[in-house]
Structure 1
Amino acid sequence: MKWTTIVTSWLITVIRAVIDHDYNSLEDDTMEISHSSEHLYKPMRFRNCTRDTDVIDRLLNGTGYNKFRIPQDEGMTVYVEIWIQAITSIDELTNDFEMDIYITEKWLDPALNFERLSPCKGNLSLNHQVLDRLWTPNSCFVNSKVAQIHDSPFRSVFLMLFPNGTVMVNYRVRVKGPCSLELSNFPLDLQTCGLIYESFNYNNQEVRMRWSAIDEPVQPMAAIVLPDFDLFKISANRKEEPYPAGMWDELHVIIMFERRFIWYFMQAYLPTYLTIFISWVSFALGPRAIPARTMLGVNALLAMIFQFGNIMRNLPRVSYIKAIDVWMLVSMTFIFCSLLELAIVGYKVRDESKVANKAASKRSKPLVDGSPRGTSLYEKRFMFPPGCNTSRSVTK
């Protein structure tokens, strides 16, 4: 019995030694792989480390953490960064634009510091449901028409927690925002659209909204391609806006678009050129081809009006004159002047025809009438007294 106990103890000691040797070898290999890779995560530790779920439970359960209380008495500073995934449309009739973006927010919550817990990972990537248990700045686009987080196939919210308590939240959002359309130079115009991002519940004494300290806090992820516009400029700035409850920090995103005018050149400018030239063809038909010249002028004017209406139906009704309005009105004036010239020429030709007809009728009127024996009018006047019936005299 004694020998059995000794042998059993010896075997257990040997097995533990083998396991510890294999474990240390595995840990060394893991450390080498982690150091050779360039990433943000710290080397994984398998011994005496705390799992993600245990870290969250220790931070949030039984510690008095309250998601409705601001973590720092002096206020929170939230850093924001926006990546534009795609701009899908710009509607000039409704004065808005639509795009898909990634919004990243970062803030420091000292109550979520887990360095003392020896986590297995350097950074914790958590489910979006955990975000509902944390304090958030409750920020939103205050001037958007529609804004929603993508939820197909699941809610597009990414949450990462750093050991020092830094919280990083990333949302994938589809937002429709307003545009201040200025069409005075249409179609050679620049259009400006903008969004305002701020904390809805906290003024700047409680939450300070700031852009991330990078060169371009708002930037596209890829080239933005639109059928009617080119992306001209993106700018980001911060303003303080007064409200009845205090001053709020507003993060402004201003996006400028430059219109592509080739379509309008092909559909408006070039056809009006040709229409005006066609109306001038009537000048070569001569002053007496009134029906043909009238048909050319009227058809050219109708074609111009149709082209103008086809362009204007895709634009909002504004009370000021646009550049294309001036162009179309001047083009119509050219065609109208050609019709006016036709009317003046026709009137002159008709008067000249009347004068010519009168002169011709005078020249062609006979000097001999039905007097006896072909007596001329001159002879009749002096040979026969007034009231004399020449026909009876001849008969007698």
Structure 2
Amino acid sequence: MVAVKWGYSVALLLLALPHLSWANQGKVNFREKEKQVLDQILGPGRYDARIRPSGVNGTADAPTIVQVNIFLRSISKIDDYKMEYSVQLTFREQWLDERLKFNDFGGKIKYLTLTDAQRVWMPDLFFSNEKEGHFHNIIMPNVYIRIFPYGSVLYSIRISLTLSCPMNLKLYPLDRQVCSLRMASYGWTTDDLVFLWKDGDPVQVVKNLHLPRFTLEKFLTDYCNSKTNTGEYSCLKVDLLFKREFSYYLIQIYIPCCMLVIVSWVSFWLDQNAIPARVSLGVTTLLTMATQTSGINASLPPVSYTKAIDVWTGVCLTFVFGALLEFALVNYASRSDMHRETMKKQRRQCEMEHAASLEAAADLLEDGATTFAMKPLVRHPGDALTLEKVRQCEIHMQPKRENCCRTWLSKFPTRSKRIDVISRITFPLVFALFNLVYWSTYLFREDAERE
């Protein structure tokens, strides 16, 4: 039964073979036609890639118009120190070359594809702010040329570039940077070649573009024709506006600096006699703050102006250094307090002598009537010294005017303790005032630059 079915199938196939061969004879192989068309338009002696195409409407004197558009695939890094950024993009150029017109056989051939750019004329475009660049050749060279039936040529290539980006870091890290991508003609002047942005969305950006420290806010296309001694050259540019992500710097720089400043204030709450603890705390916070500052500056170029981060780290370093100087002042005041204690003992002695002198004077007044005739007309030197000492003691004993601050400070017996108490209030208040001025100033300048 199986053999009968197999034999029946073979018979049907033999009967259909003449019809299949007739159908293949009537069918045109358009892949073979593409080869014929390429040989026809690019064959030897038919096309010269050294001659530029004619201008609009076939005018030989008019410049060749080349329309450009790019697709931004990724931005790998933005380097603040070298002032450069790296991008990967698909670059496309399109122009009209009437010498490449061909028969599309009723729309059967939509376009011809080439991978060798040397076979047709190419615009001499270059990236004027390029530092490094390379093509992509894995697995095959990422480049193609499409020739359309009416003579239009589309050139597309995937390239990676490292481009220079001059930056203004005065507001760093609250800044915005504008990095440009400039494309210009190297040898053809505007009389022969003109670059234009393609109408309708000339620059496309990949949707999931992610940068670690920046955000691409927007981009603008413009023209940047340049004039030199050899003529005027057509130029295109794209301005990419990047906003720096502040959250990273808030966590890595601003909050640690605030913590170091606050830790340095712990010294105000330690006993004035705890000299090793206060010295080690002040020196440690000062060295840590200095290391933090040097680490920040190591990642930035040595510019001639003051950056916002320099103001912040400089003031924080000053507060830490001021806390260390405050301990030196407290130490000096504690020695003064010891001297004052000695002076107080002498004052008490003066008061006791003054009291004794008053008692003696009272006794003299009681015996004034009997002893007046017996007093000599000239006083003894010892009496003059006693009166002078009494006057000095009376001067020291004069009551001083007191206000609320002095009354509050009088609760603390020593001057060194008063300095610590005043520092506990003054340092945080001044630092809070600095924060208010700092953030209002630089955030306002950031908004002004955005406008």
**TM-score, normalised with respect to structure 2:** 0.67
Instruction: Give yes or no for the alignment of 1:330 onto 2:315.
Output: yes
1:320 deviation in Å? Answer: 0.9
Counting only pairs closer than 5 Å after superposition, residues 137-216 of structure 1 correspond to structure 2 as 137-214=123-200, 216=201
Q: Which residue number in structure 2 is paired with residue 57 of structure 1?
A: 39
Structure 2 counterparts to residues 1-396 of structure 1, below 5 A: 18=19, 22=23, 46=28, 51-61=33-43, 64-72=46-54, 73=60, 74-115=62-103, 120-126=108-114, 128-129=115-116, 131-214=117-200, 216-357=201-342
AA partner of residue 159 (structure 1):
I
> Residue by residue, what CA displacement relative to the aligned partner does 1:69-128 show, whole Å, maximum 9, x if unpaired?
1221122100000001111111222111111110111000000000377684121122x1
User: Could you tell me how far apart the structure 1 residues matched to 2:205 and 2:79 are?
Assistant: 20
Q: Which runs of 5+ in 2 are unaligned?
A: 1-15, 55-59, 350-451
**Per-residue CA shift, 1:189-234, capped at 9, x if unaligned?**
11222121122221111111000001x3122123221222121222
| Alpha-carbon shift at residue 21 of structure 1 (Å) | 8.0
Count of equivalent residues: 329
Question: For 1:195 and 1:92, how far apart are their aligned partners in 2?
Answer: 17
CA distance in 1, matches of 2:142, 2:72: 15
1:229-288 deviations in whole A, cap 9, x for unaligned? 121222111122102221111001211221122222112111111111111111112333
What fraction of aligned residue pairs are identical, expressed as a percent? Answer: 31
Shift of 1:170: 0.1
Moved more, 304-313 or 115-124: 115-124
CA distances 1:27-59 after superposition (whole Å, capped 9, x unpaired): 9xxxxxxxxxxxxxxxxx827996212111101
Contact 1:51 1:120 (C-alpha < 8 Å) held by counterparts: no
Secondary structure at the residue paired with 1:183?
Answer: coil
Q: Which amino acid aligns with 1:174?
A: S
SS of equivalent residue, structure 1 residue 51: helix
Q: When the two structures are superposed, what TM-score results if normalisation uses the length of structure 1?
A: 0.76
- The letter of the residue matching 1:270 is I
Q: Using the alignment, how far apart are the partners of 1:288 and 1:119 within structure 2?
A: 98
CA RMSD for the aligned pairs?
2.8
1:360 is displaced (CA, Å) by: 6.3
Give secondary structure in 1 for the equivalent of 2:224: strand
In terms of fraction of residues, the more helix-rich structure is 2
Q: CA separation in 2, counterparts of 1:83 and 1:47?
A: 35
CA contact (8 A) 2:131 2:162 kept: yes
Counterpart-to-counterpart distance in 2, 1:353 and 1:49: 107
Q: Distance in 2 between matches of 1:116 and 1:337?
A: 84
Contact in 1 for aligned 2:30/2:109 (Cα 8 Å):
no
Could you tell me whether the CA contact under 8 Å between 1:52 and 1:119 is conserved in 2? no
Residue of structure 2 in register with 1:391 after alignment: none
SS at match of 1:145: strand
